[in-house]
């Protein structure tokens, strides 16, 4: 942890006193700690105590003086190697999930480029409430790492799950994450993500429901493991967190095809996660097509098969990963695609698995290669990304 920079967020929980122990553990390991505390948090522990431990002024308000100086949440988001919110109350969870930026801690969180670790602390009924559980799922889908609370004696006098994890465990979790192997360091990984839009006229298109969440999660996972990532993204409403991700925005299959072929030349591996339209209108109207009495007939032509094209280009030292979204005969269709397109392995998912695939924060996959078949449980796409990249690393080493 020596030289690592940690932003420690403290919220209004009785467990706030344990933040002193978290700071002490980080400092003992050589880390630099900057505390950001909510106004409610200061009711439980004083900034003087925290400042004495960190050797830094505690940040709580946007404006610390009346002289025009202010605290920059953006600078903190760029400075840190990790952000830890411990303790994290139900209120703060809700604000994180909904992007309610009404205090310095939440604005710092929304600006954070580094991994965010969240250690909830609250009474058992609050923790078990459906809204709290949904907020936890939501922020986990954003890529945050949840450090689960433990069962034990609570401040209310009751006993149950909601007790913040012990400071030593929190620090060890962060340390293990930051020190994990950079097993893709020096590798160039190309990833396609999102849908493509194929124009009918200036205001209409043929497309699909892909949100790009899976592809973006894969890009973040690869970047966190040391890879140089080129993300070719169709039209999506997503942003990247890791500054090392090179993003190329495209709209049509044609644009994605050109970008993919060019960038695959220098890639060690490519993951084709995009939901590319299989057909496009043969002719694009130059003006908006008006409603008429007769039915509108649109003649469709096939688009480029990006996976097949890259499969033909692939050299012996390159790894190519595809995706198969199926509605029926899932395994058979995926195995056929694996062979036809010269893929090293294929990630299969199905529209029949409720609450997964398009627009969802979760996914349930099966990884299929020539001689292996691995099924995984339904989980957040950020965790699915780790499973896929673990398999990619294994294939690349072999």
Q: Which residues does the annotation mark as catalytic?
A: 208
Which DSSP helix (H) or strand (E) runs through 260?
helix 253-264
Distance CA 73, CA 112 (A): 8
> Where are any strands of DSSP class E within 41-197?
82-88, 116-120, 145-146, 150-153, 159-163, 188-193
Q: Which residues contact 145 (CB under 8 A, 6 or more apart)?
A: 115, 116, 117, 118, 173, 177
Residue 43 — φ and ψ, nearest 5°? Answer: -75, -20
**SS3 category, 116:** strand
Distance CA 101, CA 223 (A): 27
Distance CA 47, CA 54 (A): 10
Structure tokens that stand for 112 in this block: 């954070």
223-235: string of b/e by CB count within 10 Å (b at 16+)?
A: bbbbbbbbbbbbb
Residue 359 — φ and ψ, nearest 5°? Answer: 70, -10
């Amino acid at each position: 942890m020596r030289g690592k920079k940690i932003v420690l967020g403290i919220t209004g929980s009785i467990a706030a006193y344990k933040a002193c122990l978290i700071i002490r553990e980080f400092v003992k390991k050589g880390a630099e700690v900057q505390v950001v505390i909510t106004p409610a948090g200061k009711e439980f522990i004083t900034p003087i105590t925290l400042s004495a431990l960190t050797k830094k002024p505690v940040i709580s308000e946007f404006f610390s003086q009346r002289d025009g100086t202010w605290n920059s949440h953006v600078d903190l988001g760029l400075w840190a190697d990790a952000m830890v919110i411990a303790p994290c109350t139900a209120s703060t969870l809700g604000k994180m999930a909904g992007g309610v930026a009404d205090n310095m801690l939440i604005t710092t969180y929304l600006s954070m480029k580094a991994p965010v670790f969240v250690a909830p602390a609250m009474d058992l009924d609050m923790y078990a409430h459906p809204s709290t559980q949904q907020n936890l799922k939501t922020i986990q889908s954003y890529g945050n790492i949840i450090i689960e609370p433990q069962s034990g004696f609570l401040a209310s006098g009751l006993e149950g799950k909601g007790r913040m994890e012990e400071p030593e465990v929190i620090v060890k979790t962060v340390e293990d994450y930051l020190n994990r192997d950079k097993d893709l360091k020096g590798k160039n990984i190309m990833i396609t993500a999102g849908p493509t839009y194929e124009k009918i006229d200036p205001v209409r298109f043929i497309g699909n429901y892909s949100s790009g969440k899976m592809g973006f999660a894969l890009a973040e996972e690869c970047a966190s493991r040391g890879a140089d990532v080129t993300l070719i993204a169709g039209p999506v409403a997503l942003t990247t967190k890791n500054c090392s991700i090179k993003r190329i925005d495209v709209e049509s299959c044609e644009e994605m095809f050109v970008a993919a072929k060019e960038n695959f030349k220098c890639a060690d591996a490519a993951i084709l996660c995009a939901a590319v339209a299989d057909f496009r209108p043969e002719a694009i109207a130059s003006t908006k097509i008006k409603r008429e009495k007769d039915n509108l007939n649109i003649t469709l032509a096939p688009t480029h098969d990006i996976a097949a094209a890259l499969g033909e280009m692939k050299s012996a030292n390159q790894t190519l990963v595809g995706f198969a979204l199926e509605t029926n005969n899932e395994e058979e269709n995926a195995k056929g695609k694996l062979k036809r397109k010269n893929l090293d392995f294929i990630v299969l998912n199905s529209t029949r698995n409720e609450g997964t695939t398009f627009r969802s924060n979760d996914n349930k996959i099966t990884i299929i290669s020539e001689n292996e078949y691995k099924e995984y449980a339904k989980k957040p796409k950020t965790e699915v990304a780790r499973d896929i990249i673990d398999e990619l690393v294994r294939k690349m080493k072999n």
